[in-house]
Structure 1
Amino acid sequence: MYQRRLQINSPVDVPIVIYHNFLKVAPAHAFLALTDPSYIEIWGDTIGYKVALFNIDLSVGGRYDIAYSDPSGILRQASGEILEFQPPRCLVFTRELDVKSGEETLETLIFDSMDGGTYLTGISRYPSIEVRDRIANVSFMSFVANAFECLDEVVGDSWVVENLSV
């Protein structure tokens, strides 16, 4: 079986961040765990993020809004539009970085079946290298690594897998 190891690559001359991670469950379960508010609350809570609001319309052109408090208690918000929705294979959406400036990223998640689990590829495309370097810093990458580790533990739990409605 493939060993889980988060890999993050940020090319110097392109405003993107690419990450790969292996999850212990089938793509349908991984996809649901990343799109169903009840499961996002479960694994977000394991890393100290309390979801206060999560609305999502999982259809092309649909929107999502999420509000959560981080471990230090700061309220954070994110929103965007669903551009492509192909469960359990692919999810493409925008993520507004700053409502005032109109900055947003283009997020792509690809779920591939591999060795009894899911090989997840994520691509975050930023409006510029400067914005990428400001947002995707060491602290953010540490958050991503921690989130995927907790997600893998929660999704891999037999109780969660048995109760996912895929």
Structure 2
Amino acid sequence: MPITEVRKDPGTLTLTVIAEYPVPVRRVWDAYCDPRQLEKFWGPPEWPATFTRHDMTQGGRSDYRMTGPQGESSHGYWEFLLVEAPRRFEVIDGFAHPDGSPNVELPTTRMSVGFEPIGEGSRVTTVSTFNSLDELEELVRMGMEEGLRTAMAQIDAVVADLSSFAAGNAVQAQILGDTQVRTGRVIRGDLTDVWRAHHDPDIMKRWLLGPDGWTMPVCEVAVAVGERYRYEWENDAGNRFGFTGELLASSPPRRAVTTEILIGGEAPVTVNEMTLTPVDGGTLLVIVITYPSAEARDAILGTGMVDGMETSYSRLESLLPEITQTKSSGSLPTR
């Protein structure tokens, strides 16, 4: 059991949980950065968590739900007040309605999570600060203390798994619900270079191609919120297709949200949220895709979308050293 101390202090309105793990600090930090890993320990086994957004940067936000054994759900959110990788982060932790809006009828807490090395391992100290003694007692009655104990205990198995989330692994796709899919991959490259590779037309034309044999003759990038983008591909056989959409939100170099629709087709409009997070070994790229229905979700997944993404990301990884070398000049030679 990694938990070494649990301390409830009515005088300071705090609940402190301290746990120790036999792995470096960076490994534990990355488990919090990656929603695929965070879901494996945040919340008790009977109420597993699903993160539909996880933007771990100062001013960012996470949205999650916990699903009970009978299918019931409880929604929550984190608002990131401070992120100092890999030492600590602080969030406002609150309850939410199913649409993600804060449930102001229930209390919030300020949660600070600190990471420090101890010998060859690490110590994680989680301090939850409450607004009043009544709220502290209410949340403890609701199971918060036991929930934190369970979460800390489950991290052991997650951080011991070094291979499942390693840099360079193929794209993983997870169904988050009837209308959402999350894809994730660690790209072996710097955060700013990966962002640039998604927004520089000359670079995009060299990697965002899917299977071999395709080119990208049209690459019009949206830079400001409200602008539209247009991407088109063609092959030697004369086949051609493309996508267009609007940039809904952008926080360079971390997050971009766009709509997407097939040009000239009857495919549904999707909303794609891309989040980039620095982790050991590179940059974690996560895309949450929201479809209008489960049928639309399954139809698009059935096109081989994930395999095409992996082919493109593998190509991007091979290109990133060149992007890094040419960063100072601001140009990338075309081929």
TM over 0.5: yes
- 1:29 corresponds to 2:214: no
Displacement of 1:16: 1.6
Q: Is there any run of 5+ residues in structure 1 with no aligned partner, and where?
A: none
Q: What percentage of aligned pairs have identical amino acids?
A: 21
Q: Which residue of 1 aligns with 2:306?
A: 141
CA distance in 2, matches of 1:37, 1:50: 13
Sort the Cα spacing of 1:116 and 1:4 in 2 relative to 1 into closer, same or farther, 3 A. Answer: closer
Larger radius of gyration between Structure 1 and Structure 2:
2
Query: What letter corresponds to residue 34 of structure 1 in structure 2?
Result: H
Moved more, 28-37 or 137-146: 137-146
CA distance in 1, matches of 2:247, 2:184: 21
Displacement of 1:4: 2.1
Q: Which residue of 1 aligns with 2:203?
A: 39
Aligned 8 A contact 1:16 1:132 in 2? yes
Displacement of 1:73: 4.0
Q: Which residue of 2 aligns with 1:4?
A: 168
Displacement of 1:160: 2.0
Give the one of 169, 173, 179 matched to 1:15: 179
| Equivalent runs, 1:16-95 vs 2, <5 Å | 16-44=180-208, 47-70=212-235, 73-95=238-260
Displacement of 1:101: 4.5
Displacement of 1:27: 1.1
Sort the Cα spacing of 1:160 and 1:98 in 2 relative to 1 into closer, same or farther, 3 A. Answer: closer
TM-score of the superposed pair, with normalisation by structure 2: 0.45
Displacement of 1:152: 1.6
- Higher RCO structure, 1 or 2 (CA under 8 Å, sep 6+): 1
CA distance in 2, matches of 1:115, 1:72: 42
Q: Which residue of 1 aligns with 2:271?
A: 106
CA distance in 1, matches of 2:224, 2:309: 25
Query: What letter corresponds to residue 33 of structure 1 in structure 2?
Result: A
Query: What letter corresponds to residue 128 of structure 1 in structure 2?
Result: S
Give the number of equivalent residue pairs.
163
Aligned 8 A contact 2:257 2:271 in 1? yes
Q: Is there any run of 5+ residues in structure 2 with no aligned partner, and where?
A: 1-26, 28-165
Sort the Cα spacing of 1:70 and 1:90 in 2 relative to 1 into closer, same or farther, 3 A. Answer: farther
Q: Which residue of 2 aligns with 1:162?
A: 325
Aligned 8 A contact 1:92 1:106 in 2? yes
Displacement of 1:115: 1.4
